[in-house]
Amino acid sequence: MTVSALSLPTNAAALTLAFAFGGVLLGAVSGLVPGLHVNALALLLAAAAPTLPAPPAAVGAAVLAAGVVHTFLDAIPALVLGVPDAATAAGSLPGHRLVLAGRGKEALRLSAVGSFAAVVVAVPLSLPLSHLVAAGRAGLYAALPYVLAAVVLALVAAEPTWRTRGWGAACFALATALGLATLGRPTAGSLVPSEAASMLAPLFAGLFGAPVLLDALDSRGAFPPQEGTAVALSARETFRAAASGVGGGALVGYLPGVSAGVATVLALGGVGGETAGGRTGSERTDRLYVVATSGADTATAVFAAAALVVLGDERSGVTVALSAVGGGASPFGSSGALAVVVLAAGVGAVAVPFLGDRYLAVVRRLPHRPLSLVVLVALWVLAGAFAGVSGVAAFAVATLVGLVPPRVGVRRVHLMGVLLGPIALG
């Protein structure tokens, strides 16, 4: 028997395991590089699948593992980059406020625990819930515009005053207009094949990434020392927050256009997120929000994978890539999918504190403004790479829109209208 230069395992299970660990590495790269979303890498991998010396199940394992690990590790740059100074902390994200208080290492562990606890809860629930959704599928899809409208109303109502509710509705409408104007436009990425070109990457980078970095350019304070790794929440509080994230993840996994941030704000009864109406959130609320958001993000990946296996629905870029690898369906069954999820989650939970502590130490030594500028330029370049000239223009406009919510005292989560609005309108 001739041994290939790649020395790949001949056993199918070993080959699938090897590709799953390769997907773990891809998810780590996409999670740690700001602006590089795992959807892009997953679609690139799917496009390359016919040339790879592996069956669809092995390539699918790499795609799914990358998607799960990304939901763990993307919390690291989200916590570390774009941190403002103490003077503007009231309008910053919960994770940033914890970093400003010197609790960044704790925040990393809260995120890892939230994501892993969500996997523990979501894995046994994902298949029964998917079958339940399948049974009521026709009714759910018929009522989808009304369900999404109810989500929007609940999100606006979660703002604390009538003034901020009005501004929340205005921000949602502005984002909806942006989505209607851009999502249907053809894209042509310069560095990726047409299968991976997407307007969503520049839109989300502009709405949620660039504005935080721009606001951080005005900060004058030093990045504070990060002390202590102990988690201040009790085990019960942590598990309840993660469980609420799982509920939010179920919404995201089965309802198009709903994000983890939207689901978390609703699951926590309107608390958390950016400080609304100028009020200062407590550190306990910030901790709960970090756990719940991480849990919702990871649970979404689990439920989306189950939705593809059971319903054949593509609810994320990762499941679109999985469907492409499998020829229009999941490349493996439910047991295989859940095994890959558990494996990737175990690696991700260990990697977050290990890599995150080092990420914090490195960034703390770097000059703050140049670092923010470098990341901004990288986001702009990636917008062009994944959507061409139209992507660069969409990124610029989305950045301007993304600057509005904190200046009128509402949460940026209303900007998910960029997806929710067009979907609800049909």
Report the alpha-carbon distance of residue 310 to residue 313 in Å, rounded. Answer: 8
Looking at this protein, which amino acid is placed at residue 42?
Answer: A
Contact of 199 with 187, CB cutoff 8 Å: yes
Looking at this protein, which amino acid is placed at residue 195?
Answer: E
Q: How many CA atoms are closer than 13 Å to the CA of 91, on its beta-carbon side?
A: 19
Which SS3 state, helix, strand or coil, does residue 215 take? helix
Residue 285 burial by Cβ neighbours in a 10 Å radius (0-12, 13-18, 19+): middle
Q: Is the pTM of this model over 0.85?
A: no
Contact of 234 with 75, CB cutoff 8 Å: no
Q: What does the H/E/C string look like for 110-131?
A: HHHHHHHHHHHHHHHHHHHHHH
Question: Each residue's pLDDT tens digit in the chain (426 positions)?
Answer: 344 444 444 577 788 899 999 999 999 998 888 767 787 788 778 878 888 888 889 999 999 999 999 999 988 888 877 665 444 444 457 888 888 888 889 999 999 999 999 999 999 999 999 999 888 888 887 888 888 888 889 889 888 899 999 999 999 999 999 999 998 776 665 555 555 556 877 888 888 888 888 877 766 656 778 887 888 888 888 888 888 888 878 887 787 777 777 777 776 655 555 544 344 457 788 888 889 889 988 998 999 899 898 888 887 778 888 888 888 788 888 888 899 999 999 999 999 999 999 988 888 787 777 878 888 888 888 788 777 888 889 999 999 999 999 889 888 889 989 988 898 887
Where helices occur in 226-316 by DSSP H, the ranges are 235-254, 260-267, 283-311
Contact of 309 with 334, CB cutoff 8 Å: yes
- Look up tokens 């919960």; give the residue: 94
Q: How many CA atoms are closer than 13 Å to the CA of 196, on its beta-carbon side?
A: 23
- Enumerate residues 6+ apart whose C-beta is below 8 A from 164: 276, 277, 408, 409, 410
Compute the CA torsion angle 311, 314, 319, 325 (nearest 10 deg): 80
Can you state the percent helix, strand and coil of the chain, rounding each to 5? 75, 0, 25
Q: What is the DSSP letter of 86?
A: G
Nearest to 125 by CA among 255, 311, 249: 249
DSSP 310-328: HH----SHHHHHHHHHTTS
- Enumerate residues 6+ apart whose C-beta is below 8 A from 115: 71, 72, 75, 294, 295, 297, 298, 345, 348, 349, 352
